[in-house]
């Protein structure tokens, strides 16, 4: 029995009780990958946000998270309980978390602290604040430590850029692969993603790649590649 961990969709960072910083990732691709693995008999642990698309086929477990720190905790908890044969890290994870909310004084060109952020988590920032300023801090890079947490797992990372040449996308994605010990990387350009297409490069560790044009093609290629790799090492 093969166990697969899939992260999908977006993360959200809380500003106050009603506001958050998020992104537009839907989790649709991750759900298709999960369904393809489940159809092949794999057990899938699926980690996503509450807003993300979830697989139509039953997973072994679905874990809902909100922010990057939630994801960080979940990954470390899973490492204590599971050994995965493959990890698909397709989630669009926040690069920053909210550190504090300040008020900008334009006359003095200064920032004045309003309060500790925890005071706003369950309430709402007043609309009377003239110039609110949100201070961000660097979030942990989840992909950077997945191979150390799960050294026996095949690791697939995802890279998204916007309006770049194909060669630049390839180089950035391949560099990310090497830096994070990924076995494969799926490289995307937001300019080539819409309701009708999802163009991507599926890059292998040896530098070769295949260009794909829909979410369905991407999901099929990833699952086929991983299944073939498992078959080869039997």
Residue range 148-196, pLDDT digits in tens: 999 999 999 999 999 999 999 999 999 999 999 999 999 999 999 998 8
pTM here is: 0.91
221 and 108, same structural domain?
no
Contact 166, 211 (CB under 8 A): no
pLDDT the model gives residue 123: 72
pLDDT score of 139 more than 70: yes
40 and 16, same structural domain?
yes
174 and 106, same structural domain?
no
* For residues 111-118, average pLDDT: 54
Give residue 120's pLDDT band: very low, low, confident or very high (50, 70, 90).
Answer: low
- The beta-strand segments (E) located in the chain are 3-8, 13-14, 20-21, 43-49, 61-65, 86-89, 96-105, 110-115, 132-138, 154-161, 184-193, 198-204, 209-212
CATH at residue 167:
3.40.50.10300
179 and 169, same structural domain?
yes
30 and 143, same structural domain?
yes
123 and 44, same structural domain?
no
Please indicate whether residue 97 or residue 122 has the higher confidence score (pLDDT). Answer: 97
Taking all residues of the chain, what is their mean pLDDT, rounded to a whole number? 92
Rg (CA), the chain: 20
- The number of distinct structural domains making up the chain is 2
- Residue 187 is encoded by which pair of tokens? 């490289």
Q: What is the pLDDT of residues 198-216, one digit of tens each?
A: 999 999 999 999 999 999 9
Percent of the chain with pLDDT over 90: 78
- Cα 60 to Cα 41, 72, 75, 100, distances in angstroms: 11, 20, 16, 38
Q: Which residues contact 229 (CB under 8 A, 6 or more apart)?
A: 154
Q: What is the pLDDT of residues 3-37, one digit of tens each?
A: 999 999 999 999 888 889 999 999 999 999 999 99
210 and 105, same structural domain?
no
pLDDT score of 47 more than 70: yes
pLDDT the model gives residue 113: 61
131 and 54, same structural domain?
no
Which structural domain range is residue 86 located in? Answer: 3-95+139-232
Q: Which residue has the tokens 């691709």?
A: 29
192 and 112, same structural domain?
no
pLDDT the model gives residue 135: 85
79 and 125, same structural domain?
no
* For residues 109-124, average pLDDT: 59
């Amino acid at each position: 029995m093969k166990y697969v961990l899939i992260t999908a969709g977006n993360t959200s960072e809380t500003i106050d009780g009603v506001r958050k910083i998020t992104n537009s990732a839907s989790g649709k691709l991750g759900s298709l990958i999960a369904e393809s693995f489940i159809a092949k008999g794999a057990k899938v642990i699926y980690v996503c946000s509450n807003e993300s698309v979830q697989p139509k086929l039953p997973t072994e477990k679905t874990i809902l998270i909100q922010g990057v720190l939630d994801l960080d905790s979940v990954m470390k908890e899973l490492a204590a309980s599971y050994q995965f044969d493959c990890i698909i890290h397709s989630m669009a994870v926040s690069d920053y978390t909210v550190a504090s909310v300040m008020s900008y004084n334009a006359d003095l060109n200064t920032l004045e602290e309003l309060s500790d952020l925890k005071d706003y988590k369950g309430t709402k920032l007043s609309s009377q604040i003239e110039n609110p300023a949100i201070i961000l801090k660097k979030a942990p890079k989840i992909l950077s430590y997945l191979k150390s947490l799960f050294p026996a797992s095949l690791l697939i990372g995802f890279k998204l850029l916007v309006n770049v040449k194909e060669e630049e996308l390839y180089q950035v994605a391949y560099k990310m692969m090497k830096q994070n010990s990924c076995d494969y990387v799926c490289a995307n350009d937001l300019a080539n993603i819409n309701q009708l297409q999802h163009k991507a490069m599926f890059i292998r560790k040896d530098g070769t790649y295949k260009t794909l044009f829909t979410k369905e093609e991407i999901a099929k290629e990833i699952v086929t590649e991983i299944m073939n790799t498992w078959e080869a090492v039997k």
